Amino acid sequence: MAQATSPPEVAEQAVRTRRYSSDAAGLGRLRAGAFVAPALLLVAAFLVFPALWVLYLGLTNYRLTGAAAAEPQFVGLGNLIDAVVNPEFWSSTWLTVEFVLGSAVIGQVGLGFTIAWLLRDRRGPLKRLVEGLVILAWILPSAIVAFLWVALLDRDAGTLNALLHTPGYAWLLDHPMLSIIVFNTWRGTAFSMMLYGAALGNVPPSHLESARLAGASGWQQLRDVVFPHIRGHILTNLLLISLWTFNDFSPFLLTAGGPDGKSEVLAVHVYKVALQSGELGTGAAVSTIILLINLVVAVFYLRLLRSKK
C-alpha cells in the first residue's frame, strides 16, 4: 500500500527544502544576501551616499571657503531658485542639448551605425584597421586625447591649420561648440560601432535576402529589415550615449567652457559654480536638476523600449 511509504517521504522532503532553497542557485535569501552584500556596500558608499549628499547640499548655503563652509545654513529651495534664475544656467542647458544631439545622437550613433553597416560583410585588414583606429580613440585616457586635440586645433602650431593652409585660425575660439561636438563624436563612436556591429550580426541573412529578392533598395532593406530588428539596440544605445554625453566633462579639457561661456555645457557649469566660484550649495542644486533631467531622459527611452510589442 502506498500509505506505508508515503509519510517518511514527505518528512524527508521537508528536511530537503530546509536545506536547499527552491531558487535557481539553491542558496536561499540569507546566503544570497551575504553574497551580494559587499557589492551593495560599495555601491552604497560610492554612489548612493554621494547622490543623497548632493541632494542635501543643494538645500544648504555650503561654500568652499568662508563662514558658510564651517557652518552651512539650511536655505531650502533658495539655491534651486538662484540656479534657475541665472541666465548662464539656461544657456548651459541649451548648449548641453546641442552637445548631446550633435555629438551623441547624430555624431556617435549616426557614424557608429554607418561604419558598422559598411563593414558588416567585410573581412580582413581593412575592417581590422578601421575598427582598431575607432577603438583606439575610445580607450585612450581623456588627458592624452585632450592634449592631442589641442595640438590638432591650436591656432599657431596646430596640425589642422597646417593641413588646411589656414595659419592663425582659432578653431577653439571661433567654433567652440563645433570643436567639442566633433571631438566627442571622434572620441565615443567606437561604443556605438561595436554595439551596432554585434546587433547587425543578429539580423537573419535570409530576411535581408528576402527583401533583396523582392527588389528592395539599400534604404528599403534598412527600413524594413534592419531597423525593426535592431530597434531595441538603437534605443539602448541612444539611452546610454545620451546620458554619458549629457554628463560629460571632457569638453572642459579643450575649451574650459569658453570663450565667454560659449561651450559651457552643464557639467562644466556645475564645476565653475561649485569649485571655481566656491558656491557648493548652488552647484549641488544644479547637479540635482541634472539628475532630474537624466531621470526624465532615461524614463522616456525605457518607455519606448517597453512599447516594443
Partner 1 sequence: MAAIELRGLTKVYPGGVKALDSLDLTVPDGEFFALLGPSGCGKTTLLRTIAGLETATGGAVVIGDRDVTGVQPGGRDIAMVFQDYALFPHMDVTDNIAYPLRIKKVAKAARRDKAAEVAARLGLEHLMDRRPGQLSGGQQQRVALARVMATQAQAFLFDEPLSNLDARLRLEARTFLKKLQRELGVTTVFVTHDQAEALAMADRMAVMEAGHIRQIGTPAEVFQRPANTFVAGFIGSTPMNLLDGTVRGDTLDVAGFEVSVPVSAEGRLSDGEKIVYGVRPEYLAYSAEPAKGALSGRVVIVENLGASHLVTLDANDVTVQAVVPEGSEPAIGDTGHAVPRRDRALVYRDGELV
Residue 166 DSSP class: -
Smallest separation, CB 304 to partner 1 (Å): 15
For residues 214 and 295, which CB has a smaller minimum distance to partner 1 in the complex?
214
145 belongs to the binding site for partner 1 (CB under 8 A): no
- Comparing CB distances to partner 1, the nearer of 167 and 228 is 228
Report the distance separating Cα 200 and Cα 229, nearest Å: 9
With a CB cutoff of 8 Å and minimum separation 6, the contacts of 89 are 83, 269, 286
Binding characters for partner 1, 225-264, by CB under 8 A (x = yes): x--xx-----------------------------------
Largest Cα span, the chain:
101
190-209 mask for partner 1 (x: CB under 8 A)? --------------x-xx-x
Neighbouring CB atoms inside 10 A of 47's CB total: 10
Q: How far is CA 176 from the centre of its chain?
A: 22
Q: Is 212 in the site for partner 1 (CB under 8 A)?
A: yes
One of 142, 220, 276, 277 touching partner 1 (CB under 8 A): 220
Only segment of 34-42, 43-51, 223-231, 270-278 that touches partner 1 (CB under 8 A) = 223-231
CA dihedral 193, 194, 196, 200 (to 10 degrees): 130
Q: Is residue 211 at the binding interface for partner 1, with CB under 8 A as the rule?
A: yes
The residue written with cell numbers 531658485 in the block is 81
Cell of 161: 591649420
Q: Could you list the residues that contact partner 1 (CB under 8 A)?
A: 204, 206-207, 209-216, 220, 224-225, 228-229
